[in-house]
A and B are shown apart, each in its own frame.
Chain A
Amino acid sequence: MDYIPVIINLFFLIILLALGFFVGSWQERRHFREIEIRERDSLHLPLLTAKTLDMAPEQVESAYLVQGSAVISIDYFKRLLAGLRNLVGGRISAYESLLDRARREALLRMKESAPDASMIINVRLENAAIGMSAQQGNLGSVEVLAYGTAVKLKAGHEIRS
């Protein structure tokens, strides 16, 4: 019955928390900055959730499926923070940024896979919790899959809104 194992455990816990917090928030900031730049660069490509558009087939040069997916993991600090938040309820801010990053990253990857499309229609988002802890009821990582139909219109047939 020594206090030493307890202290060692506590020490490792704090190390893991510090690692999660510092590395996790650094990566998150970097990712958000990168997302903003890429979003600005792909602003010209509109995303539509409409299934169909009222236009003649001869206007369309090509249409094909595009998709992008992103898997983002939560860090140790946020996992513990979310666990604490689960006890009392409220906004789980730890998960908000996780899902926001995954969503935007997936959409960006989808857009970037169709650089010369006129638009992407019927855009859908799917998400899933994956990883070891997903089976235990905790959120470990999220995958967001974005998919849609990229449409390239013939020159001179752009849709007027």
Chain B
Amino acid sequence: MKYVPKQPEGNVNVSEQNPLREFFVLLGGVLGFLVAVYFVLGWMVDLVAPRISPELEKKLGVLISNSYLPEQEDSSSSAYLNTVLARLADDRCFSYTLPVQVHYSSSEVVNAFALPGGHIVINRGLLEKLKSENELAFVLGHELGHFRNRDHLRSLGRGLIFAALSTLVLGTDNSLSGFISGSMEVSSLSFSRRQERAADAFGLNVLQCAYGQAGGSTAFFEHLDDQSQNLARRYLASHPTSPDRVRLLKQLIREKNFAIDTTALIPLPPWGE
């Protein structure tokens, strides 16, 4: 037998698959699967969230809320905010399984949010936009509405699922995890439009109950619209603002015959340095 060296035709060691096609098929499949898992788990969170005991929520609060709570609190502003909150959460207008507490944060971002364990954080940026105690009471009442509807536990649960899934798939140290954690920040503290509308309606009731009138409930959104659109869009990140919200509030005020007395609005103290 004579050996004749010869080059093989084609390369059997490398598959002929189109890499771009393979990439999109795999990416689509994996993402689709994760989205399905996320929705199924999210649905389970919605089932579990209303059944979480106060003891467990307290533990969750210690575990999670601490990273969001401001480090140093301005004592006089905090004390004032808590007296306003106490007026709302006096068992007659609002009661919760845990004592509620409000924290003053010096952040300039126009935002306020509800955290597990009965914590509300309100940023200086938002406080500066308020013109009366009644407006503040409405904002706090809105956050109390999130507690009542357990929205804070739901969104936390979804955030945890998101984090768990992304770490499971990508590992903790991956070029994608920065991207994922960025998206998680947005998703974990935001609520759906339906949840926001329910919280608005609840906040309105609490305001009426504690102050005897609903003045100040719509004013906040109205002068947010006066401000630059940028600020409004920031607030939109966790609290979508739209003319719809004002319209809904006005409609509720009309339906329930709530009084509005703009002369009886209580002025605000200056906020901490």
Contacts and interface: CB of A to CB of B under 8 A. Distances in A.
A3 interface: yes
A76 to B, nearest CB: 8
B237 interface: yes
B182 interface: yes
Given A2-B234, A93-B15, A93-B17, A88 B179 contact: no
B121 to A, nearest CB: 13
A52 interface: no
Given A2-B234, A21-B20, A84-B26, A9 B186 contact: no
Given A1-B237, A6-B182, A81-B26, A100 B7 contact: no
B19 A6 contact: no
A43 B186 contact: no
B5 A43 contact: yes
B2 interface: yes
Interface in B161-188: 169, 173, 175-176, 178-179, 182-183, 185-186
Nearest to A84: B26
Given A1-B189, A13-B176, A46 B5 contact: yes
A9 B182 contact: yes
24 contacts: A1-B186, A1-B189, A1-B237, A2-B234, A9-B182, A10-B179, A16-B175, A21-B20, A39-B7, A43-B5, A46-B3, A46-B5, A81-B19, A84-B27, A84-B30, A87-B30, A88-B29, A93-B17, A94-B19, A96-B13, A96-B14, A97-B14, A100-B13, A161-B2
Contacts of A10: 179
Interface string A50-86: 0000000000000000000000000001101100110
A50 B36 CA distance: 56
Contacts of B3: 46, 161
Interface of A: 1-3, 5-6, 9-10, 13, 16, 21, 25, 32, 36, 39-40, 43-44, 46, 77-78, 80-81, 84-85, 87-88, 91, 93-94, 96-97, 99-100, 136, 161
Nearest to A32: B11
B179 A13 contact: yes
A44 B4 CA distance: 9
B246 to A, nearest CB: 23
Given A93-B14, A93-B17, A85 B26 contact: yes
